[in-house]
Structure 1
Amino acid sequence: MHSPGRAAWMIAVAAAAAFLATFNETFLNVAFTPIMEDFNVDVNTVQWLTTGYLLVAAVFVPVSNVLYHRFPTRPLFVAVVAIMVVGSVVGALAPTFSVLLIARLLQAIGTGLLTPIGMNITLAVSPREKLGLNMGIMAAMTTLGPSLAIVLSGALLTVAPWTTLMWVFGGLTLIVLLAGAIALRNVAELGRQVLDILSFLLVAVGLVGILYGVSSAFSGTALYAGVSAVIGLLALWMFVIRQRRIEHPLIDLRPFSSAPFVFGVLMTMLGLLFVFAMNVTIPLFLQAAHGMAPLGASLALAPGILLTVVMGPVAGRLFDRHGGRWSIPLGFLIMAVFVTLVGVAAGYSSILLFALLYIPAVLATAFVIGPSQTFALSHLDRETSPHGVTVVSTSFQIAGCVGTSLAAGIYGALTTANLNAGNNEFDSLLTGFRGAVVLVVVTSLIGILLAFLAYRSAQSQRSTDTAQSPENTVESIMKSDVYALSSDQTVLEALQTFAERGISGAPIIDTDGSLAGFLSDGDVMRYLSAAHPSSTSIYSYAIGADEDLEQAMSDLAGLNVMKLATHDVLTIDVGSSIADAVAAVSDAHIKKVPVVRGENGQVVGIVSRSAINRLAIAGYLHTRGEAPQMADATAR
């Protein structure tokens, strides 16, 4: 177990590593033109600096799980980052394009290994109640990386040659290497993990085949693209069969048996596809159609990118408290609406309007990518979580490659087709850009559907888990004899109920039986201190000093409970795990949480912090062989 301070430093290092890994995916994109001039290569050749990078990173992600459980965390982390440092130095000094490409592939190996290692570190050291927040930070870093890289590289290229980008990245990775060497400790359960070479080759051929097929589908080589994709699919099919037959699979496929995990991964990929697709097409369109310089086109993305960094942890915190049942589909909807408006604004001359409309579109990805990732991994147990991380990390690279290739391919194909049809250049470029917009709008709408299916599957899984092991759910520790208030009662009547029942708060039930709010004695105290400060304390009655409270009590006798109640009540489903209950009371800093059943939200109980504490103490004493002589944990 690590101290909170140590855990925070380890998560910070993991987040920095995730940022650098994804930052480098697009860092050289703006430098393609000077690289082409220096090495005398064409655009189809130079684009392999990005496509090849993504392909190799995707191939090495599955290997990370074997290495993570084979070697201590700190030396493994340092070694992986060192590979990226070496790749940066080789790239900066590269005498030919081939050497530069090899350097990029070395960096890609580091990226493929580093992202899942960082996520595993975060999962291992994060308290359960802060998992959404910390994964939100990780998601913000992975979203910020490829976006901010375009802006920073554009700025650097205005004052320095493209080789400066390699030196700058090398310096940043060296800083992270040193930070990891100082802050990290071993967090993995080590064993004699075996790397199955045939499995590695099959997944490599599978991913490279599929991703190469997608990337080359719009380049005029449809036959080669189709053959490549078919070979890739066959290799992946053979990979899956092998994983089920060997003793030490490269990827444990058990996470795929969880429908919520699968839906969560798909939603994460759709959010990332949006980011990568817009990151490549917006600078291309603004430079070609509006004649903007690379830096200016990149700066159009900057406000939304920077705000997304702030919004990522906020979205994670909201997920911790309320889940993502409505925030994830709402995020997809905002993405679809505002990127449509961006497509409309693209036909006008105002770049400011274009940039302003893009801000809410990219901000909405913070409510999709991080929460979807957390949703997926939270439905796995400790044993399968590392394999889930491997799948999620692989999906990052796949989404990046697919998003970049599809958007750029559609943009280029539609632009060329319109130019060949005799349309003017601006209209042709606009048509190409709007084609890419249609792509991300369609994928966002699919995301909304997946979000509702995901939470339906999660509820179904929870019901199954409850039927199988009810002793591990909230129902086993909740107080079912609920003392509730009605929405037409006065505050003074509520205080009388508190005194008679010996409770400090109660849910408020509306006339239709639904939960309307929650009132606690703390809510009443805060009102009295503000409205009747001379009353000082309701406990004055206990010592006979009741004169100052007469007016206050008269006020409470005419005040409806809903005036002081909390309306946005945090609730927990009866089938939720005890771990979810712990997260609810600790994260929200409250004593009691109403327990509801199903979609109608009918209150069936109350789970309190004291009940959880008694359960924890009883469990501890039981492990020591001491039978606790105490009241039942479900008592008040």
Structure 2
Amino acid sequence: MITIAAAAAFLATFNETFLNVAFAPIMSDLGVDVNTVQWLTTGYLLVAAVFVPVANVLYRRFPTRSLFIAVTAIMIVGSVIGALAPNFSTLLIGLLLQAIGTGLLTPIGMNITLAVSPRQKLGMNMGIMAAMTTLGPSLAIVLSGALLTIAPWRTLMWVFAALVLIVLMAGAIVLYTVVELGRPVLDIVSFLFVAIALVGILYGVSAAFGGNILLSGGAIIVGLLFMWAFISRQNRIENPLIDLTPFKTAAFNRGVIMTMLGLLFVFAMNVIIPLFLQAARGTAPLSASLTLAPGILLTVVLGPIAGRWFDRFGGRWSIPLGFAIMAVFVGLVGVAAGQTSLVIFGALYVPAVLATAFVIGPSQTFALSHLDEKSSPHGVTVISTSFQIAGGVGTSLAAGIYGMVSQSQMNAGTAEVDSLIVGFRAAVTLVIVTSVIGLIIAIRAYSAPKPQQPQASASQDVVPGAVAEVMKSEVYSINADSTVLEALYRFTSLGISGAPIVDHNNQLVGFISDGDILRYLSAAHPSSVNFYSFAVGEKQDLEEAMQELGSLNVMSLATKQVISLPSTASVADAVAALSDASLKKVPVLNPAGAMVGIVSRSAINRLAIASYLEAEHEAQLPV
């Protein structure tokens, strides 16, 4: 299922740039100018962004297989219309139908991945998804350039229809419903509000470099006003189009911003590198596209590896390092733009685009891993929408800055090639700045200490008649920086089966059990499905497993959304928490959020038995 989801994500983003190289023959064939033909990209991104929020409603209302078939069928119909289009308007209609499929398909694929991925493999699988979404728009430029050397531009539409048909048939065979279905309502007013908001903002950014500042500013203002109206409506209606709860989590917000900055880099460079090489170096479209190919192909290989790295070690170092490499090497690409060697130019770009594998997928995983199961689909919707916005903004800003600065230099009397180099370096400066911003956000996301909260007094921790009477105050906890092997050693030495995880401020951040560890080992080491197998000759596998656990951070296997109780809760509250969620233990937190104890099912059982025996004893006493 993850393979189908990844293929769908690839095709959805692949089509966003598939026609870019064909703009020149389309202009000639259909008799339109450059300002008109660019709407094949701008309009596509706008419609895709508008339909992303709708995917969350459809995903939770219709069976996964049926929904997948319907969405991919829409894309095939759009492709056929585009291939047979007698004029530009018909071609645009076909592309916009494809865009509807793109807006729906990407979040559906991410939701499928979230639903079927084991927690210990989420980073790797999201890395695969990120690699496919990064590969799509990049590889499209290369393949379309190759196809256009031997066939007319309409062939691109037929090829895309064939690819989607293959994925449709595979999905019809493999997919099944992976979410509990209900009857969520699509709020039409909210849909219109977010549509106008996104169209206004993205069109305003696109028009900013067209010379009409008033039109651009007006569109952005209208977009922002409707975005405010959309947000206000989501907070007060019963069935919001997007649940805005994920935005209450600071870590999720940081993850979304980091993801968008990584995607902005990819889209910006994908558009300005071919433009620059063709205009300034006279490079053929295919050769210009092939300059991107080595980095693109290596990024596909590195994406799952980066995700696996995130699963084992987190993103404390990898995400900031990715942003830093992006900034440094794209800066070197800007310097090399003034040189004559295309090989050096392309070689310097390889590390820059490879670094995005350590940013985009891990940042998505970082954001979504801080959400609970209920909020995750809404988080996917936000990230998928941000993908289209980042693509539209990155493409518009990079192309706009490149064109504006180049034209300004030529108007000042600078030679054409030199003007284009200056314009290219201006666009490169944009992505350097955004990469540095991403670096700062990544460092703050992992290293910024939580604000100190005042310690509660003892009277606040213990309330007569509350759960504090039955909780165990001496709590065995595990530090968030510990390895899984250290946690396992603590379990065995203390004779416990699980423990809460706390940060340096004693704030509860997770819970891990021996069951979590065993499930991970069963996936990574077949003989560890049963620990008894280690006692009958599987010593080597045991050593390998323990070495792996020694390098795995405890938070990578932990449950992060931990059910807890306030210290003022009643015993009845504790009984409800333990029984409703089928838990053995529940941490108890004081008003400052620090853990002050733990209440277990066995403690409740002892209390119940003691109360019963005491009552029976009193009943048997003589009056």
Shorter-normalised TM range? 0.7 to 0.9
Q: Percent identity?
A: 68
The reply to whether residue 578 of structure 1 matches residue 511 of structure 2 is yes
Cα drift, residue 578 of structure 1: 2.4
- Structure 1 counterpart SS, 2:235: helix
Count of aligned residue pairs for this structure pair = 516
Say if 1:282 and 1:597 are closer, same or farther in 2 by CA, change over 3 A: closer
| Match in the other structure for 2:47 | 56
Q: In 2, Cα distance between the equivalents of 1:461 and 1:19? A: 44
Contact 2:312 2:551 in 1 (8 A): no
> What is the CA distance between 1:204 and its match in structure 2?
0.2
2:236 is aligned with 1:240: no
Aligned to 2:533: none
CA contact (8 A) 1:91 1:166 kept: yes
Change (3 A) 1:214 1:364: same
Mapped partners of 2:283, 2:166: distance in 1: 34
Looking at structure 2, the residues matched to 149 and 391 of structure 1 have their Cα atoms a distance apart, in angstroms, of 25
State the alpha-carbon separation in 2 of the partners of residues 147 and 426 from structure 1. Answer: 25
How far apart, in 2, do the equivalents of 1:144 and 1:461 lie? 43
- Give the SS at the match of 1:214: helix
Q: How big is the shift at 1:221?
A: 1.4
Kept in 2, the 8 Å contact 1:87–1:106? The answer is yes
Query: What CA deviation, in whole Å up to 9, does each residue of 1:399-447 have, x standing for no partner?
Result: 0000000000000000100000000011000000000100000000000
Distance 2:163 2:65 in 1: 18
The question of 1:348 aligning with 2:339 is answered yes
- 1:286 Cα deviation from its structure 2 partner: 0.5
* Alpha carbons 1:206, 1:231 under 8 Å: kept: yes
Asked whether 1:223 is paired with 2:223, we answer: no
- Please tell me the residue identity of whatever aligns with 2:365: T
Which secondary structure state, in structure 2, belongs to the residue aligned with residue 577 of structure 1?
strand
Q: Which residue of 1 aligns with 2:546?
A: 590
In the TM superposition, what are the counterparts of 1:256-271 in structure 2 within 5 Å?
A: 256-271=247-262
CA distance in 1, matches of 2:136, 2:65: 23
Structure 2 residue ranges without an equivalent (≥5): 462-466, 483-488, 494-501, 525-544, 556-577, 586-599, 604-623
Q: Does 1:19 align with 2:10?
A: yes
RMSD (Å), alpha carbons: 3.6
Question: Cα offset for 1:590?
Answer: 3.0
AA in 2 matched with 1:401: G
Counterparts in 2 of 1:373 and 1:157: CA distance versus 1, 3 Å: same
Q: How does 1:420-459 map to 2 (within 5 A)?
A: 420-456=411-447
The amino acid across from 2:546 in the alignment is I
> Structure 1 residues 132 and 23 mapped into 2: Cα distance closer, same or farther (>3 Å)?
same
Shift of 1:463: 13
What secondary structure sits across from 2:414 in the alignment? coil
Question: Which of 139, 149, 154 is the equivalent residue of 1:158?
Answer: 149
Aligned counterparts of 1:253 and 1:146: Cα–Cα separation in 2: 29
Question: Which residue of structure 2 lines up, in the alignment, with residue 31 of structure 1?
Answer: 22
Specify which of 315, 324, 329 is matched with residue 320 of structure 2: 329
Distance in structure 2 (CA, Å) of the matches to 1:187 and 1:177:
17
Alpha-carbon distance change, 35 to 595 in structure 1, aligned in 2, over 3 angstroms: closer
2:135 to 128, 141, 144: 144
**Do the aligned partners of 1:129 and 1:583 also contact (CA within 8 Å) in 2?**
no
| CA drift at 1:455 | 2.0
Q: Which of 292, 307, 313 is equivalent to 2:304?
A: 313
Report matched runs for 1:114-129 at 5 Å.
114-129=105-120
| Counterpart AA for 1:577 | G
State how far apart, in whole Å, the 2-side matches of 1:621 and 1:209 are.
49
Distance 1:79 1:458 in 2: 47
Unaligned runs of 5+ residues in structure 1 are: 1-9, 483-497, 504-570, 599-615, 630-636
Shift of the alpha carbon at 1:595?
11
In structure 2, do the counterparts of structure 1 residues 249 and 457 end up closer, same or farther at CA, with 3 Å as the change threshold? farther
Out of 184, 199, 208, the position equivalent to 2:190 is 199
Relative to the length of structure 1, the TM-score reads 0.76
Q: 1:21 to 1:191 in 2, by over 3 A?
A: same
**CA offsets, 1:129-169, max 9 Å, x none?**
00000000000000000000000000000000000100000
Residue 597 and residue 117 in structure 1: after superposition, are their counterparts in 2 closer, same or farther (change >3 A)? closer
**Structure 2 CA distance for aligned equivalents of residues 250 and 269 of structure 1:** 22
Tell me the equivalent position of 1:90.
81
Give yes or no for the alignment of 1:292 onto 2:225.
Answer: no
AA matched with 2:191: F
Q: CA deviation at 1:453?
A: 2.0
Q: In structure 1, how many angstroms separate the alpha carbons of the residues matched to 2:69 and 2:449?
A: 38
Q: Could you tell me how far apart the structure 2 residues matched to 1:458 and 1:446 are?
A: 19
The question of whether the paired residues in 1 share the 8 Å contact of 2:26 and 2:153 is answered with: yes
Letter paired with 2:306: A
AA in 1 matched with 2:102: T
Q: 1:215 to 1:76 in 2, by over 3 A?
A: same
Whether the aligned pair in 1 keeps the contact of 2:144 and 2:156 (CA below 8 Å) is yes
When residues 595 and 235 of structure 1 are mapped into structure 2, their CA distance, relative to the original with a 3 A threshold, is same
Alpha-carbon separation, structure 2, partners of 1:461 and 1:298: 52
Give deviations 1:206-225, integer Å, cap 9, x for gaps. 00000000011001111101
- Aligned partner letter, 2:422: T
Shift of 1:188: 1.3
Output the amino acid matched with 1:106: L
- Residue 73 of structure 1 aligns with which residue? 64
Tell me: CA distance 1:350–1:181, structure 2 relative to 1, closer, same or farther (3 Å).
Answer: same
Q: Distance in 1 between matches of 2:552 and 2:70?
A: 48
Name the CA shift for 1:383/1:31 in 2 (closer, same or farther; >3 Å).
Answer: same
3-state SS of paired residue (1:21): helix
Alpha carbons 2:23, 2:37 under 8 Å: kept? yes
Q: 1:75 to 1:433 in 2, by over 3 A?
A: same
